[in-house]
A = this chain, B = another copy of it.
Amino acid sequence: MSKCLIVGGGGFIGSHLVELILKRNNKKLIVAGRHEKPKTLINKNIEYVCIDPSNLEGLSQVMDQCDEVIDLAYATVPKTSFDDPILDISANLPFTVNLLKLASQKSLRRFMLVSSGGTVYGTPLRLPIDETHPTNPLSPYGITKLATEKYGLMYHHFQSLPLLIVRPSNPYGPGQRGNIGQGFVSTALFAGKKQKTVKMFGERGTIRDYIYIKDLVEGILAALENGIPGEIYNIGTGIGMDNRTILEKINHHIKLDGFSLDIEVLPLRPFDVSSNVLSAAKLTYISGWRSQTSFEEGLAATWKWVKESTP
């Protein structure tokens, strides 16, 4: 049975990935995170290690026991990266380079870097966006994410690191807090629950490819099992939806529970790319994976979690 290390596994994507791997029960798991104890403990039997970015000796010893690594660690999000692009560099790039270097010295079967299909492409020249589309990121976060891809491919090229890259679109689902400047769906659902105003920039907002978190983590594992080292795989639904449509769907859904949305329309923000919809045809071709969950189903599950969650 293979043993998989998830670096940065304590977050939104990581916790769902852990849950799926435990359900399939075909891999042993070690989770590594920044916090001394994991924020969400899904299962007491999972080994958890705390990462010290300035001393990777502990991580090195953990990696010796593993044959797969999934790197989800990132210290910033797109919106906050504008406030401090230097921190976005210093908190992410040296750590990722050190991790790749370390991984290159081990005998791994796969190293998966989770990049960002929502930010590395920038303004689309064609839709949906495939992996050969030019990468012109328009946020510090997107720029450093793209740089981490390039470092990964360099270690693949020179050190034979069996690296795969996935570029997810915008995930949503239970567990996403929506209070860190990303996650439009959960931000809107929490606003509905708390009777706060939802801000939308532009009459219809922006068009994004919202992928349900359970589909995303299935896609990550599909790429891990079937992907070819050195290759990049988009993970998305191929369906674009604007903010207005989403808010209408949310309003319709939460009305059943007696809630409603209060929407404030603000001017378009210059840094928002108007459209981002990914083609995952390459991943489908090699693995058969497809996004399965309709937005209505995903929304219902997310709202259930939001309703029941403590503030």
Interface of A toward B, CB cutoff 8 Å: 85-86, 89-90, 93-94, 97-98, 101, 132, 134-140, 143-144, 146-147, 150-151, 153-154, 157-158, 270-271
The main secondary structure of chain A at its interface with chain B is helix
Determine if A143 and B150 form an interchain contact, defined as CB atoms under 8 angstroms apart: yes
With contacts A90-B90, A158-B270 known, is A151 near B85, CB below 8 A? yes
Residues of B within 8 A of A271 (CB): 158
Q: Which residues of B contact A146 (CB under 8 A)?
A: 147, 150
Q: Do B89 and A89 touch across chains, with their CB atoms under 8 A apart?
A: yes
A101–B270 alpha-carbon span in the complex (Å): 17
Known: A85-B151, A89-B97, A146-B150. 17 other contacts (CB 8 A): A85-B101, A89-B89, A89-B93, A89-B94, A97-B140, A132-B134, A135-B135, A136-B150, A138-B154, A138-B158, A140-B154, A143-B147, A143-B150, A144-B147, A146-B147, A147-B147, A158-B271
CA distance A151 to B81 in the complex (A): 12
Copies in the complex: 2
Contact across chains for B140 and A157 when beta carbons are under 8 A apart:
no
* Complex interface: chain B residues within 8 A of A132 (CB): 134
Residues of B within 8 A of A158 (CB): 138, 270-271
Interface-centre pick from A89, A139, A157 (highest chain B CB count, 10 A) = A89
Chain B residues with CB under 8 Å of A151's CB are: 85, 140, 143
Q: Is the CB of A94 within 8 A of B98?
A: no
**Do B143 and A154 have beta carbons less than 8 Å apart?**
yes
- Tell me the bound Cα distance from A146 to B94 in angstroms: 16
Tell me, in angstroms, the Cα distance from A101 to B89 when the chains sit together: 15
CA–CA, A202 and B193, complex, Å: 68
Residues on the B chain within 8 Å of A89, using CB: 89, 93-94, 97
The 5 A-B residue pairs whose C-beta atoms are closest, nearest first, are A143-B150, A86-B94, A147-B147, A89-B93, A85-B97
Tell me the smallest distance from the CB of A63 to a CB of chain B, in Å.
19
- Chain B residues closer than 8 Å to A270, beta-carbon distance: 157-158
A157 touching B138, Cβ below 8 Å: yes
A137 partner residues in chain B, CB cutoff 8 A: 150, 154
